[in-house]
């Protein structure tokens, strides 16, 4: 074999190994594929979005209701695996709302977007909290049932925190509404608090202090909860809301809090940080923030 041919083969081998290495890198659409299937969802660092469908403000007034720039599909492709879905059932329509502000999006569309994403990314799963954003409605639970039962193969409605192998290519129901006995029970949610939810066999820890008078104080709560999740040995699912509404002026300012908290959040996960930080739920998620969070899982080599 002549020298030039040896050189060409060597170059080819280097290129092949380089492409193989690149293919192992996780990106926002497939980062769960490399996670150990026996791992409980409770011990995976998961990026999440707060008020995931809220992309419109009240009467166009800035910072009043909009919490996300990316669509649900764009969030999933960015790496979000926890969706905070808030619905209102009205005249047979299951719409997405933030408080009383309609978001021009239906729950059925949200579900179908998730199903389509999971079909093309079978290594992934999506946790979804569902909350009644309207007033008392005795038909809310049955309306959710209709949608889930229509596509039951796409949902995990077990009452326990599952292992990843049980829920790949499925939506995991985290239930914040009464009148139903399926899914991970989060109905005893407290307002503007940090609290546990104990519903055997599950234990959840939630930090959802969304009323913000001081951005630095909010950040300290978020950071402390990240550290609590990192050192936890109790098997609990940690839900850490980095989102908040700054109340220092006459109207709530959602952006004011996220502009302060999000860069600091990225700083926690910068560099070689590896570990379990729970579900970190953000306003105005970005691919870069998501990558910083899911990149802390020991099995994941992010781009």
Would 28 be classed as within a structural domain?
no
CATH code, domain with 260: 3.20.20.190
pLDDT bucket at 15, cuts 50 / 70 / 90: very low
CA 85, CA 73: separation in Å to the nearest integer?
A: 14
pLDDT in tens, 161-178: 999 999 999 999 999 999
Say what the pLDDT of residue 19 is.
37
Give Dmax over CA atoms of the chain in angstroms. 81
pLDDT bucket at 7, cuts 50 / 70 / 90: very low
Say what the pLDDT of residue 179 is.
86
Would 17 be classed as within a structural domain?
no
CA 27, CA 121: separation in Å to the nearest integer?
A: 12
**pTM (2 decimals)?**
0.91
Residue range(s) defining the domain that contains residue 114: 43-294
pLDDT surpasses 90 at 206: yes
Angle at the Cα of 238 from the Cα atoms of 87 and 245, rounded to 5 degrees: 55
pLDDT bucket at 251, cuts 50 / 70 / 90: confident
How far, CA to CA in Å, does 207 sit from each of 194, 234, 239?
4, 16, 6
Would 85 be classed as within a structural domain?
yes
Average pLDDT on 265-294 reads 91
Q: Mention every residue, 6+ apart, whose C-beta is less than 8 A from residue 292.
A: 265, 266, 269, 270
N-to-C CA span, the chain: 38
pLDDT surpasses 50 at 204: yes
pLDDT surpasses 90 at 199: no
Would 197 be classed as within a structural domain?
yes
Average pLDDT on 118-137 reads 96
Would 301 be classed as within a structural domain?
no
Would 22 be classed as within a structural domain?
no
- Please give the tally of structural domains in the chain: 1
pLDDT surpasses 70 at 69: yes
Would 253 be classed as within a structural domain?
yes
Q: Mention every residue, 6+ apart, whose C-beta is less than 8 A from residue 233.
A: none
């Amino acid at each position: 074999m002549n020298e030039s041919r040896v050189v060409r083969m060597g170059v080819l081998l280097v290129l092949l190994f380089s492409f193989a290495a690149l293919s192992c890198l996780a990106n926002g659409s497939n980062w769960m594929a490399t996670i150990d299937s026996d791992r409980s969802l409770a011990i995976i660092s998961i990026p999440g979005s707060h008020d995931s469908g809220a992309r419109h403000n009240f009467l166009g007034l800035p910072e009043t209701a909009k919490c996300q720039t990316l669509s649900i599909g764009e969030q999933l492709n960015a790496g979000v695996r926890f969706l905070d879905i808030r619905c209102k059932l009205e005249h047979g329509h299951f719409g997405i709302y933030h408080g009383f502000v309609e978001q021009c999006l239906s729950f059925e569309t949200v579900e179908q977007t998730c199903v389509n994403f999971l079909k093309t990314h079978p290594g992934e799963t999506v946790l979804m909290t569902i909350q009644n954003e309207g007033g008392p409605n005795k038909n809310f639970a049955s309306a959710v049932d209709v949608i889930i039962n229509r596509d039951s193969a796409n949902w995990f409605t077990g009452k326990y925190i599952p292992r990843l192998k049980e829920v790949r290519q499925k939506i995991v129901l985290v239930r914040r509404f009464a009148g139903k006995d399926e899914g991970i029970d989060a109905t005893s949610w407290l307002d503007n608090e940090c609290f546990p939810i104990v519903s055997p066999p599950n234990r959840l820890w939630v930090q959802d202090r969304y009323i913000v008078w001081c951005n630095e104080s909010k950040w300290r709560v978020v950071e402390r909860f990240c550290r609590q999740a990192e050192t936890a040995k109790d098997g609990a699912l940690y839900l850490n809301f980095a989102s908040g509404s700054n109340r220092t002026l006459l109207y709530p300012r959602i952006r004011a809090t996220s502009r302060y908290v999000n860069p600091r959040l990225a700083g926690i996960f910068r560099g070689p940080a590896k570990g379990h930080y729970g579900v970190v739920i953000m306003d105005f998620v970005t691919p870069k923030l998501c990558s910083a969070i899911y990149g802390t899982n020991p099995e994941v080599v992010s781009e």
